[in-house]
């Protein structure tokens, strides 16, 4: 297991129950907890724990329903959930496993058993996460690929919706890339894409910044907690950075070096609004930037 302590989130309405689990696990794991279902549902997406210990019998709603709601969030779906309960019937255990729980522990707990099961499940999750990370990387550029981008976009949208915060999206397309490939060759084209990707990756410095290769010579930048003014500034720096790479492009109508066009869109997600609307707005702004001269960014009026 990694040297960094994994986080275990305990959902248990009894302070005594929380204390028992904390005592069993706190030497090896970082512990977060909630005494109510609503507190847990609000906190878990923010904490993003490595494992959730969930009491089945809760006053607001049972653990089975809590498990179902948590599993609806793609960002949490891969997090192992372990039911902890005094209910010992085979039917209850089977129901929990059918709901997607990774394990089922009965009370009173045995600290050694709890520790071993939690340790094993977190180790399995980390192996799985490593495999997923490998499958989520674009082979040419080393940044996130389209599949990983789709997951992150959905997760960033949900977070912005929960927090009532602005979310900005930039679509970035290398100008006249076909002409570059045709005249300089595909190997040079690949090098060009890698250099632009490296620049984008280097500019994604904040925890909420995410860049991916969207396809071909197109990239996308997700900027969490970023309003339209911040998105404009980011787009301006991107344009300067890409042209500043100084990659010769004698066949570009925009300049003598490789440049890009950028579409910018910002929104605070709300009810009845789909994430695809933000993507379409950024795409439309990108089309406008290319139509009106390239080597520039255009901002969507999407709100």
* 208-219 confidence digits (pLDDT tens): 899 999 999 999
Burial of 245 by CB count in 10 Å (0-12 exposed, 13-18 middle, 19+ buried)? middle
Mean pLDDT value across the chain: 92
**Percentage of residues in the chain with pLDDT exceeding 90?**
72
- Catalytic pick among 98, 217, 225, 233: 217
Please write the tens of the pLDDT for every residue from 100-156: 788 988 888 999 999 999 999 999 999 988 887 778 999 999 999 999 999 999 999
Q: What is the pLDDT of residue 9?
A: 97
Query: Which domains are delineated in the chain?
Result: 7-135 (3.40.50.2300), 146-299 (3.30.70.270)
Residue 298 makes CB contacts below 8 A (sequence gap 6+) with: 262, 263, 264, 285, 286, 288, 289, 292
Q: CA torsion, points 228, 229, 231, 232, in degrees to nearest 10?
A: 110
Give residue 303's pLDDT band: very low, low, confident or very high (50, 70, 90).
low
pLDDT at residue 89 greater than cutoff 80: no
Q: What is the pLDDT of residue 234?
A: 97
Question: How many residues comprise the chain?
Answer: 303
Q: Which residue has the higher pLDDT, 72 or 303?
A: 72
Q: Which residue has the higher pLDDT, 64 or 257?
A: 257
Asked if 217 is an active-site residue, the reply is yes
The b-or-e profile of 128-166 (16+ CB within 10 A means b, else e) is: eeeeeeeebbbeebebbbeebbbebbebbbbbbbeeebb
Span 230-243, average pLDDT = 97
Q: What is the pLDDT of residue 3?
A: 60
Question: Which residue do the tokens 């209910």 mark?
Answer: 87
Please write the tens of the pLDDT for every residue from 27-66: 999 999 999 999 999 999 889 999 999 998 888 888 888 8
List the one residue out of 199, 228, 224 whose CA is nearest residue 209: 224
């Amino acid at each position: 297991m990694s040297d960094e302590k994994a986080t275990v989130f305990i959902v248990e309405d009894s302070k005594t129950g929380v204390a028992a689990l904390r005592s069993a696990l706190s030497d090896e794991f970082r512990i977060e907890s909630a005494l109510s279902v609503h507190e847990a549902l609000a906190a878990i997406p923010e904490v993003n724990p490595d494992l959730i210990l969930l009491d089945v019998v809760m006053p607001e709603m049972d653990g089975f329903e809590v498990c179902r709601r948590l599993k609806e969030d793609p960002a949490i779906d891969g997090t192992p959930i372990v039911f902890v309960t005094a209910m010992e019937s085979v039917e209850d255990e089977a129901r929990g496993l059918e709901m997607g729980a990774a394990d089922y522990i009965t009370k009173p707990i045995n600290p050694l058993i709890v520790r071993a099961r939690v340790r094993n499940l977190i180790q399995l999750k980390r192996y799985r996460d490593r495999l997923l990370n490998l499958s989520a990387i674009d082979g040419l550029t080393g940044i996130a690929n389209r599949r990983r981008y789709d997951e992150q976009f959905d997760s960033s949208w949900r977070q912005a919706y929960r927090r009532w915060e602005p979310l900005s999206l930039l679509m970035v397309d290398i100008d006249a890339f076909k002409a570059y490939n045709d005249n300089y060759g595909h190997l040079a084209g690949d090098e060009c894409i890698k250099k632009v990707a490296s620049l984008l990756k280097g500019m994604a410095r904040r925890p909420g910044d995410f860049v991916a290769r969207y396809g071909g010579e197109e990239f996308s930048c997700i900027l969490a907690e970023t309003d339209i003014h911040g998105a404009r500034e980011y787009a301006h720096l991107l344009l300067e950075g890409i042209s500043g790479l100084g990659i010769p492009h004698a066949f570009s109508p925009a300049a003598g070096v490789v440049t890009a066009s950028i579409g910018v869109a910002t929104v605070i997600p709300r009810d009845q609004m789909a994430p695809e609307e933000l993507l379409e707005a950024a795409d439309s702004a990108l089309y406008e930037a290319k139509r009106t001269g390239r080597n520039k960014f255009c901002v969507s009026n999407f709100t």
